[in-house]
Structure 1
């Protein structure tokens, strides 16, 4: 082999290949993400029944949902290091099995004095989500072509929102309000056993078929990320976190993302109380309204993915969605004040469409700003900030509801969204990842002349 031939080989691109089984990997992820997020509002959507059975306050029941927010800032950095260092398979195994473990623990929570066991099960499931909800952008870049990344990220978020939809729909259908606590206990037992039974085969699927990565990367950019992962150490990871936290554009966007996700999570936690304050006895309506919010949001998130892949207008899309979300929540408040159920269904559907559509746009914009930092770490920081804000805002809203009522609570939410809208407008429009993809697409590798 001549010197020129050696130089040519050294400057050629690595083997790039896209595998058909990438869609199966995505489906498996969607399945176990769905079963994890289903458990977020599993109890808060039936707050009145749970409160009656366990003899605890509505605020105590709120913590079954807020525990998911508490766990994020505690575990986000250790989880991000594990994902960055060990890859998708390890994250998938931890996420699937801790989800299953939490569901099993809740089987043993049936008893009027066992609310602590229920809360422990929720906390274990909450821990699983740190290894689950950070993965859509990671799966997208690990398995899919650059032009598929945004839509795949939105489909991954589809799994989260599908689980939330089921969490709003299923518990009110299974667990009914009754003055006979034995009847409530039977319904709760049915729900817990059913969930554990469904989760078990999904967890086993992750064991037998959820590889860390394909044999060959789908892009030159992903090849380089693989090489960088080999050098991930605790010191390197800590330095990367420091760099991210010093990135002003990213931190401003993180605050915006946290605002909108916190409002969405607060609505999910408090929806039962909102609806019953205007429509007494409408527990099942509250569940169905939550379902409508999530279903329209699923449509919105998928549409956003396709729009972003076509336009790459991340900041512009995020700004428009933020503004329309603020308008929609004012419409929701107005519909409640008019005491019109059909208007409430319509308003919360519109709100769900926009607020959930923001999530893929927000994650993708963060990835653009911070590229080439690992997607799972970036998403983890986004989620941690949003969950911390969720706890703060939900506690404040609980106080506002008690003292001033639902209307002021919703107006406060609209104010938070308007602040986020302004901050989004002020965020620098940085597209580092798109620049890398364009360089990969147009850069020609030529041998060096002797």
Structure 2
């Protein structure tokens, strides 16, 4: 533990002094000037809307892949899967150029760019409502894929910029799971509206309605983000963010410097990168592989397919926010991470069994539990990343971590699809179980040093010592 000493030459480093505003929560008793602004909830809400518009378009076609293949566009299953896989590939390819840009333009304009790309992609797909326009659809989907690099790495950074230390995991979870709410809305609406009709024109009409509705919604959200979303507040919300900001300003760390430091001197982060990729890739792949897994056992149940997917995302999100709140209160990072990954393995076994016995309500339950375990690790992974890499910039560390899920997802999804097509759905479950088990073993073996927590403890010690000295002086 570092010995903290105060001399007459020591100074407290304020991020910004003399700033007050009504209806704000001020954090007192801190060696830094820190303040938590109520506007943080508007920031989080606007980002959530942006994330929902983007994520809605991720499984937009894979969830009704059998309809797209057989009835409308007349393309192969691989072509339909590519509409989802391209988002994972694009994220891995374009993230680092985007990180360079994000470090220079700030969090606001990063989110604005993401919203604009999402909106443009949605409008291009308006013109894809014809059987011979699948290439136009791919162009629109490619723009949506590029928007992901400006959206998926933001939640951790937004939480660190605007939220106090007791709400970091909760804010990160809400930011991450807004994406999953968008997935849930897609899973619920698309299978209901785009029925498996014999009339191709009817399918085209319903697709056109969805395209237009989504494009208008994206336009409204883009305007709201442009005019209402703000960059970092005038004062840091926590001591760790205050120190991180001052260290960043003093050392002038760039993206390449942080990248080199993380990948060459931080073994805990490297293990976490692979763990996160293995666990989260299964969730990403479910958007594509759940269609053949479910419809193999429950014929002509497209609406049930959508509802099960909604439960997977929505109940998983609710449960995960609760777990994130527990993480904020207890700070038991390692225990909770191991519990969640182990639960994912058990619930995958339960899901395979319930699908095999073909009891629908049990499938609903097992998939919901599976979603809670997987989505929980998404937010826990970001918090572990922040702890392991502090005081590196969150946009860099969490952006690199996000690549793991996207890259592993792009590899795992076609492999599992191939296994299912060749050997059957039981073999697909075995493959998923093997991946989740490996991720759990890596979680158990990874003993992450909680750097951010240590910084908070040092700040508290500094404050206690300074208060004691001032008390003696007063006497």
Classify the TM-score, shorter chain: over 0.9
Equivalence for 2:414: 395
3-state SS of the aligned residue for 1:56? coil
Q: Work out whether residues 304 and 360 of structure 1, in 8 Å CA contact, stay in contact via their aligned partners in 2.
A: no
Equivalence for 2:179: 160
Equivalence for 1:184: 203
Q: Does 1:27 find its partner at 2:41?
A: no
1:408 to 427, 434, 437: 427
Aligned equivalents of 1:185 and 1:229: distance in 2? 52
Q: Work out whether residues 99 and 255 of structure 2, in 8 Å CA contact, stay in contact via their aligned partners in 1.
A: no
Q: Does 1:46 find its partner at 2:59?
A: no
Cα deviation code 1:83-130 (max 9, x no counterpart):
233221111111111111111111111111111111111111111111
1:148 to 151, 154, 167: 167
Shift of 1:407: 1.3
Cα deviation code 1:422-450 (max 9, x no counterpart):
1111112310010011112221375999x
| Distance 1:96-1:6 versus aligned 2 partners, 3 A rule | farther
Equivalence for 2:254: 236
Cα deviation code 1:126-145 (max 9, x no counterpart):
11111111111111110111
Equivalence for 2:286: 267
Show the 5 A alignment for 1:295-306.
Answer: 295-306=314-325
Show the 5 A alignment for 1:325-364.
Answer: 325-364=344-383
Q: Work out whether residues 12 and 32 of structure 2, in 8 Å CA contact, stay in contact via their aligned partners in 1.
A: no
2:403 to 364, 372, 384: 384
Shift of 1:168: 0.9
Q: Work out whether residues 98 and 127 of structure 1, in 8 Å CA contact, stay in contact via their aligned partners in 2.
A: yes
Q: Work out whether residues 13 and 32 of structure 2, in 8 Å CA contact, stay in contact via their aligned partners in 1.
A: no
Aligned equivalents of 2:392 and 2:240: distance in 1? 12
TM-score by length of 1: 0.94
| Distance 1:172-1:214 versus aligned 2 partners, 3 A rule | same
Q: Work out whether residues 154 and 304 of structure 1, in 8 Å CA contact, stay in contact via their aligned partners in 2.
A: no
Count of aligned pairs: 445
Q: Does 1:117 find its partner at 2:156?
A: no
Aligned equivalents of 1:76 and 1:133: distance in 2? 10
TM-score by length of 2: 0.90
Equivalence for 2:462: 443
Aligned equivalents of 1:172 and 1:231: distance in 2? 53
2:342 to 297, 318, 323: 323
| Distance 1:182-1:411 versus aligned 2 partners, 3 A rule | same
Q: Work out whether residues 278 and 436 of structure 2, in 8 Å CA contact, stay in contact via their aligned partners in 1.
A: yes
Show the 5 A alignment for 1:60-209.
Answer: 60-209=79-228
Aligned equivalents of 1:285 and 1:428: distance in 2? 41
Q: Work out whether residues 13 and 33 of structure 2, in 8 Å CA contact, stay in contact via their aligned partners in 1.
A: no
Cα deviation code 1:386-432 (max 9, x no counterpart):
11111111111111111111111012101110111111111123100
Aligned equivalents of 2:310 and 2:87: distance in 1? 19
Aligned equivalents of 2:396 and 2:451: distance in 1? 16
Cα deviation code 1:298-337 (max 9, x no counterpart):
1122012111111111122111111110111111111111
1:427 to 446, 450, 453: 446
3-state SS of the aligned residue for 1:17? strand
Equivalence for 1:16: 34
Equivalence for 2:27: none
Shift of 1:7: 5.1
Aligned equivalents of 1:92 and 1:381: distance in 2? 18
Q: Work out whether residues 174 and 190 of structure 1, in 8 Å CA contact, stay in contact via their aligned partners in 2.
A: no
Query: Superposition RMSD on alpha carbons, in Å?
Result: 2.1
Q: Work out whether residues 174 and 187 of structure 1, in 8 Å CA contact, stay in contact via their aligned partners in 2.
A: yes
Cα deviation code 1:330-380 (max 9, x no counterpart):
111111110111111111111011111111111101111111111121111
| Distance 1:327-1:118 versus aligned 2 partners, 3 A rule | same
Shift of 1:81: 2.2
